[in-house]
Structure formats: C-alpha cells, structure tokens
A = this chain, B = another copy of it.
Amino acid sequence: MVTNGEHLAAKFFDRGDVFDPDCPTRLILDRIGDKWTVLALLLLSKGPLRFTELRDGIGRVAPKVLTQTLRRLERDGLISREVFAEVPPRVVYTLTPMGESLITPIRAVSDWAEEHVPAISAAQNSYDLDNA
C-alpha cells in the first residue's frame, strides 16, 4: 500500500531524487525558479552583457537585487564576471558552458509561458468569477 512519501517517490520516480527533501536538487530548482535568474540567463544567451545592459534589458529590477542574482549565478558557475579596471568601471557578464547548457530547458519553459498567457488568463478569470 502506498501511504507515505517514500513509497510514492520510489514508485513513480526512481531515476532521481528531486523528491527527497534533503536533496540539493531542490536548491538548484529554487535558484532556477528565481524571479530574475531566468530573465538574466536568457538575456545573456545571446552574448556577454554589462551590468547596466542587463539592468535595462530586464527592466524594473533594483540594482541590489540584480547584484544578488548575478552573484548567485556566478557562485553556481553559470556565469562569469569580468571586471575591467577602467573609469567608469566596466563589468562584463558571460554565460559559462554550463550556463549555456541550461538555456535550452529554460527557454522551453519560457516559450511555454508565452504561449499559454491567454489560456491562463482565461482560467483565472473564470475561477475568480466562480468564487466571487
């Protein structure tokens, strides 16, 4: 009988351990799911960019938050950060090969999202009507 999580996970997915609460995969999924991470990576997928280019390309992101996002991505080895000792300062962000390998999956998700905007809006409207 399947009554607990371990059984469920074992039954349905033995190819990985996303469903183990102590698995680091969760942390990575969280990172990828981050609000700005996906946007930043997609922007960088076409070539290196500077801080302000990313900032403007994303739009309405506070510099502090963008810095956090980029630092995390750098720490995870998905982007590299190159500082030029010039004035005004220049910092260029580039996807690493690992970062590039993530582009295909996340583009699939973002494409899906774009495609389904109307359907989801419709679903939300009818849900809100029913629960008025």
Contacts and interface: CB of A to CB of B under 8 A. Distances in A.
Interface string A93-131: 000001001101110111111101101111110011000
Contacts of A9: 57
Could you tell me the dominant secondary structure of chain A's interface residues? helix
A131 B1 CA distance: 50
B8 A57 contact: yes
Interface residues of A, number: 67
6 contacts: A5-B58, A8-B49, A18-B42, A18-B114, A33-B33, A109-B109
Contacts of A53: 2-3, 5, 8
A121 B5 contact: no
A73 to B, nearest CB: 10
A114 to B, nearest CB: 4
